[in-house]
A and B are shown apart, each in its own frame.
Chain A
């Protein structure tokens, strides 16, 4: 008592059992075509099976285009889309520090390479800033996971394409070079599935674009879906203005949340955050309460260093969907850095109750417990964080935080060992070098401290702490020239630091006396 094979395949597809669906369709396709029911009509079982298999293969590797956004070095440095070389404050993502940010200063909240405060939720583009020089660009970690920079985004897509070849050991299911795109473009029911296959499975943007262009012509430019797909192709190829045109035209025809999100992505890539914000707000008028739009607004505010607005919008997100992990994490970290660890603790506990179980959460929990003076939970949280750490960078982070806790309780030996362990796990941890230098200074090992501070400042020139510490150290030793240069660097990194300014004043007085 078997099921009809096409029905069975269709049922598997609905239940997302793509491997079985694809295998069954392959069997159907191997049957000689004379077994169909109506040889002359437009519909054939062969086409149906082909279309189903195409969709199954695509769904196996489908990733939502809205999320993927990792800029390679080539995109960042050779960006020809710059609108204004010197943007007004608050209108550009490249100069985040100049906006009217109402957030904690770098003295309280650590900053990333580009001067933005560390966010509570690592997304593909939060690590990247807009590095000034090529050297900085190479050093900046670009992916959320590793510190290895990607050279160009398109290279990664090609690798995704080769990964998908594993699904078909006998060779590609559809041979793109022999495909008559014009013929397929005339049949929308086949063309749409084929387009997604070429775009997501084969990662062949050029062919996909050809197909989409032919198909949208055939549809007399009345089908918004094809415009969106063309826009996606243009975005992948880096033709942002053309992509913007396509998305706008699609949006005029039919309001869709996805189109709004794609268009906003284009604006962000063109460094037009205010336009993207307006777009989101218009979208919210049309689709009130749409979580992805509110979340998009919050992310942009965070990138522009406007933490208070970002926090407001994240709270809105939680009103709509209180299981939204990103919003909870970001609000939690905001509270932590505004000196409210107890409230932050509540947010992180909520995440724990929801079933998030990883090293980062326990690390944050440990820190919140410590600063909220719940000392019983601190060490066990950190223990669990160490247990769950998946790679050395996470372990290094946990040890670094443990070092801070040790400094807080006054056990400098423990702090020393913790920072050493941080360095063992991650040799480029600038903050750990800085802290070790401070500890060495206390012990009186000036040479060691100096070497460590120099390492720290060369690893992370955007941080003001190593420069400031080096300035203080040199001044103590009497090397005023070096102290002055270091103090200037510290001031550059963090202009609002009162201690640096005092030190500079002192040094200037000293020099004037000479």
Chain B
């Protein structure tokens, strides 16, 4: 993500379906024109070598015929191009081209014609070396401190460094502990080669040590390596960075201290000459290429880092100074002084898009797609709004996520408990050891306002109570109809129940507009059974095993109101003693005290059943 786009000064697409990688781009004054202006040299994996000198009439122009100085089809893939003083006897710059098994050095020269498009450029092969091993990349520099000449060092795919002193082959050395090639560079200040090995370490080998180490070309090379006799290649310093590196660059500008820059896969390091970290920066993107260049601020170095999100970041040491968007993922980036513009950023993508750009505040033109919104016409909107609101109102009456209050219920179920016990007890299979087990009738009514499909009624009471029939299935009910069923409840088990409540649940399907098959709904109601179902009045007794005292903050209510079916209304209104005999056998007595505001309960066995039943009533 970035605010700005790199402004396109000049760009072109090279060939068709050609492939490029990091070493394929180089900028230098390769034809020794003397004006100090750089030319862009590009070599592709298809073997095409092209040299450009862009001078667009106005920024944004594409390739003009005069921009392309030279285009040659070399027979083999070009791995890397470099420009340096590679020919003995002259200090002019020459072009070195690395192929898999060959190193060629060319001289590029041009003859000026009368008009601009009469200029002619040729390349002449100065010398070439055939390589014993497949090459990977190369570096160059004044090895051994020579002045005015550049030597070349080539790294092969199997880890041999082959050094060429211009026209002659000097020596070859194997790198110890090698597996896959890493980036290679030469530092003139310390006269050493720096690379990153497969052990994820930055290693530096001095040129002198390389020169005196075991020669790799001797006959007994393999045995010597196994026996480790002779001078093994000893590393000068090592820094374990913990990751592979994409590129290394050594910079020694005047104001800044000489440093080694390493672009790892996730971090970016600046090392001193002895291998200690000067600074590092963790990158939160995948970098693809970089180049350090001179900074205006003293003591710092600016770096351009390209990444796989098509962005180019400009760092001053570790501070991000600028971020710009590129049109492609750069595999190589260089800073060039071209004919009409100095300090141009040259980037090359791996499919052959070559672009020269400069930094500007061109905003990345991001066209947000249009949202489907309609034109504003208030009258139409008002009418539509009214209609929609009407529909919403209708809909909320029947289907709404908010809960509806009771009176709008579609189906109501009620249960009526008859006030008297059944004349003839309907108790079946009761385990209670008493002569007669009473039962009470409960009448359940279902009233519906809407169509109820397949209504199912279930009546539940807690054990040990039981019902004569607890499941009822009805036919579909028409709207505004009702159904009634009758059932009896009695005490089945031989122990006292803990509560005397029952619950009726009706589940049914009701069809709606959206769901004609019907959505399930439930209605329920509770009913309360009389205490008479499980106990009979008995003689009160003061003697008992356990006594519970309940204190109240108000005067006790008379037993007539609490237990109307146990107290004979003809008796004294102030009756304050009441005895209960449960069907299961236990006895309880309730005494209300007139003086103190408390009620005593005497039980002969502290069973939860009787206590809670009576307690419920008292509550």
Q: In this assembly, does B146 line the interface, its C-beta being within 8 Å of a C-beta of chain A? A: no
A1 touches B46 (CB 8 A): yes
Q: In this assembly, does B481 line the interface, its C-beta being within 8 Å of a C-beta of chain A? A: no
A40 touches B318 (CB 8 A): no
Q: In this assembly, does A322 line the interface, its C-beta being within 8 Å of a C-beta of chain B? A: yes
- Contact of A322 with B286 at beta-carbon distance under 8 Å, contacts A48-B179, A48-B180, A224-B242 already known: no
Q: In this assembly, does B36 line the interface, its C-beta being within 8 Å of a C-beta of chain A? A: no
Binds A, one of B119-127, B165-173, B360-368, B584-592: B360-368
Q: In this assembly, does A192 line the interface, its C-beta being within 8 Å of a C-beta of chain B? A: yes
B179 touches A41 (CB 8 A): no
A424 to B75, CA, bound (A): 68
Q: In this assembly, does A105 line the interface, its C-beta being within 8 Å of a C-beta of chain B? A: no
A483 to B288, CA, bound (A): 65
A43 to B159, CA, bound (A): 9
Question: Of B77, B280, B366, which one neighbours A3 at CB under 8 angstroms?
Answer: B77
Question: Of B45, B198, B246, B364, which one neighbours A189 at CB under 8 angstroms?
Answer: B198
From 14 to 54 in chain A, residues with beta carbon under 8 angstroms from any chain B beta carbon are: 14-16, 37-38, 40-43, 45, 47-48, 51-52
Question: Of A14, A289, A451, which one neighbours B319 at CB under 8 angstroms?
Answer: A289
Binds B, one of A77-85, A93-101, A137-145, A352-360: A352-360
Chain A interface, >50% SS class: helix
How far apart are B488's CB and chain A's nearest CB, in angstroms?
36
Q: Which residues of A contact B389 (CB under 8 A)?
A: 413
Question: Of A7, A42, A254, which one neighbours B157 at CB under 8 angstroms?
Answer: A7
| CB closest residue in chain B, given A49 | B180
A14 touches B21 (CB 8 A): yes
Q: In this assembly, does B3 line the interface, its C-beta being within 8 Å of a C-beta of chain A? A: yes
- Contact of A6 with B318 at beta-carbon distance under 8 Å, contacts A11-B21, A413-B389 already known: no
Q: In this assembly, does A230 line the interface, its C-beta being within 8 Å of a C-beta of chain B? A: no
Q: Which residues of A contact B323 (CB under 8 A)?
A: 323
A41 to B286, CA, bound (A): 35
A255 to B329, CA, bound (A): 32
A320 touches B402 (CB 8 A): no
Q: Which residues of B contact A172 (CB under 8 A)?
A: none
A189 touches B371 (CB 8 A): no
B180 touches A254 (CB 8 A): no
Question: Of A11, A256, A356, A413, which one neighbours B280 at CB under 8 angstroms?
Answer: A256
Q: In this assembly, does A258 line the interface, its C-beta being within 8 Å of a C-beta of chain B? A: yes
A43 touches B178 (CB 8 A): yes
Q: In this assembly, does A423 line the interface, its C-beta being within 8 Å of a C-beta of chain B? A: yes
How far apart are B272's CB and chain A's nearest CB, in angstroms?
14
Q: Which residues of A contact B21 (CB under 8 A)?
A: 11, 14-15
A43 to B225, CA, bound (A): 11
Q: In this assembly, does B339 line the interface, its C-beta being within 8 Å of a C-beta of chain A? A: no
How far apart are A492's CB and chain B's nearest CB, in angstroms?
27
| CB closest residue in chain A, given B158 | A43
Q: Which residues of B contact A4 (CB under 8 A)?
A: 100, 134, 157
Q: In this assembly, does B177 line the interface, its C-beta being within 8 Å of a C-beta of chain A? A: yes
B368 touches A448 (CB 8 A): no
Binds B, one of A379-387, A468-476, A501-509: A379-387
A228 touches B199 (CB 8 A): no
B226 touches A225 (CB 8 A): no
A256 to B405, CA, bound (A): 66
Interface code B239-263, partner A: CB below 8 Å = 1, 0 otherwise? 0101010100000000000000000
A38 touches B222 (CB 8 A): yes
A224 touches B267 (CB 8 A): no
How far apart are B31's CB and chain A's nearest CB, in angstroms?
27
How far apart are B333's CB and chain A's nearest CB, in angstroms?
14
Q: In this assembly, does A292 line the interface, its C-beta being within 8 Å of a C-beta of chain B? A: yes
Q: In this assembly, does B392 line the interface, its C-beta being within 8 Å of a C-beta of chain A? A: yes
Q: In this assembly, does B320 line the interface, its C-beta being within 8 Å of a C-beta of chain A? A: yes
Q: In this assembly, does A201 line the interface, its C-beta being within 8 Å of a C-beta of chain B? A: no
B267 touches A43 (CB 8 A): no
A384 touches B177 (CB 8 A): no
A387 to B46, CA, bound (A): 47
Q: In this assembly, does B472 line the interface, its C-beta being within 8 Å of a C-beta of chain A? A: no
Q: In this assembly, does A447 line the interface, its C-beta being within 8 Å of a C-beta of chain B? A: yes
Task: Please count how many residues in chain B sit with their CB below 8 Å of the partner chain's CB atoms.
Answer: 68
Chain B interface, >50% SS class: loop
A512 to B284, CA, bound (A): 64
Q: Which residues of A contact B45 (CB under 8 A)?
A: 3
A190 touches B363 (CB 8 A): no
A192 touches B405 (CB 8 A): no
Q: In this assembly, does B412 line the interface, its C-beta being within 8 Å of a C-beta of chain A? A: no
- Contact of A189 with B134 at beta-carbon distance under 8 Å, contacts A290-B282, A292-B282 already known: no
- Contact of A189 with B199 at beta-carbon distance under 8 Å, contacts A16-B286, A323-B323, A355-B1 already known: yes
Q: In this assembly, does A89 line the interface, its C-beta being within 8 Å of a C-beta of chain B? A: no
Q: In this assembly, does B570 line the interface, its C-beta being within 8 Å of a C-beta of chain A? A: no
Q: Which residues of B contact A16 (CB under 8 A)?
A: 286, 288, 308
A43 touches B179 (CB 8 A): yes
Q: In this assembly, does A10 line the interface, its C-beta being within 8 Å of a C-beta of chain B? A: yes
How far apart are A19's CB and chain B's nearest CB, in angstroms?
15
Q: Which residues of A contact B371 (CB under 8 A)?
A: 380, 383-384, 387
Question: Of A192, A289, A380, which one neighbours B317 at CB under 8 angstroms?
Answer: A289
B2 touches A354 (CB 8 A): yes
Q: Which residues of A contact B423 (CB under 8 A)?
A: none
Q: Which residues of B contact A257 (CB under 8 A)?
A: 267, 280-282
Interface code B165-195, partner A: CB below 8 Å = 1, 0 otherwise? 0000000000001111100000000000000
A190 to B320, CA, bound (A): 36
A287 touches B279 (CB 8 A): yes
Q: Which residues of B contact A323 (CB under 8 A)?
A: 1-3, 320, 323
From 327 to 373 in chain B, residues with beta carbon under 8 angstroms from any chain A beta carbon are: 329, 331, 350, 363-364, 366, 368, 371-373
| CB closest residue in chain B, given A40 | B222
| CB closest residue in chain A, given B366 | A355
How far apart are A443's CB and chain B's nearest CB, in angstroms?
12
Q: Which residues of B contact A40 (CB under 8 A)?
A: 222, 226
Interface code A426-457, partner B: CB below 8 Å = 1, 0 otherwise? 00000000001000100000011001100000
From 220 to 243 in chain A, residues with beta carbon under 8 angstroms from any chain B beta carbon are: 223-225, 228
Q: Which residues of A contact B75 (CB under 8 A)?
A: 1
Question: Of A15, A55, A420, which one neighbours B288 at CB under 8 angstroms?
Answer: A15
Q: Which residues of B contact A290 (CB under 8 A)?
A: 280-282, 318
B240 touches A354 (CB 8 A): no
How far apart are A189's CB and chain B's nearest CB, in angstroms?
4
A16 to B287, CA, bound (A): 10
Q: Which residues of A contact B319 (CB under 8 A)?
A: 289, 319-321
B402 touches A188 (CB 8 A): no
Q: Which residues of A contact B401 (CB under 8 A)?
A: 420, 423-424
- Contact of A320 with B320 at beta-carbon distance under 8 Å, contacts A16-B308, A52-B180 already known: yes
Q: Which residues of A contact B200 (CB under 8 A)?
A: 192, 225
Interface centre among B158, B181, B244, B392 (most CB of A within 10 A): B158
Interface code B395-430, partner A: CB below 8 Å = 1, 0 otherwise? 000000111010000000000000000000000000
How far apart are A224's CB and chain B's nearest CB, in angstroms?
6
From 197 to 227 in chain A, residues with beta carbon under 8 angstroms from any chain B beta carbon are: 223-225
Question: Of A3, A41, A223, which one neighbours B240 at CB under 8 angstroms?
Answer: A223
Q: In this assembly, does B530 line the interface, its C-beta being within 8 Å of a C-beta of chain A? A: no
A-B contact pairs, 26 of them (CB 8 A): A3-B45, A7-B136, A10-B181, A38-B222, A41-B225, A48-B180, A51-B179, A64-B266, A189-B197, A190-B179, A192-B199, A224-B240, A224-B242, A256-B242, A257-B281, A261-B282, A289-B319, A290-B281, A291-B318, A322-B320, A353-B3, A355-B1, A356-B1, A384-B371, A420-B401, A423-B401
Question: What are the 8 tightest A-B residue pairs by CB atom distance, in nearest-first order?
Answer: A189-B198, A321-B320, A225-B242, A354-B1, A355-B1, A189-B179, A451-B403, A257-B282
Q: Which residues from chain A sit less than 8 Å from chain B, CB to CB?
A: 1, 3-4, 6-7, 10-11, 14-16, 37-38, 40-43, 45, 47-48, 51-52, 55, 64, 188-190, 192-193, 223-225, 228, 254-258, 261, 287-292, 319-323, 325, 350, 353-357, 380, 383-384, 387, 413, 417, 420, 423-424, 436, 440, 447-448, 451-452
Q: A1-B46, A355-B1, A383-B373 are in contact. List 4 more A-B contacts (CB 8 A).
A: A192-B198, A257-B281, A290-B281, A357-B366
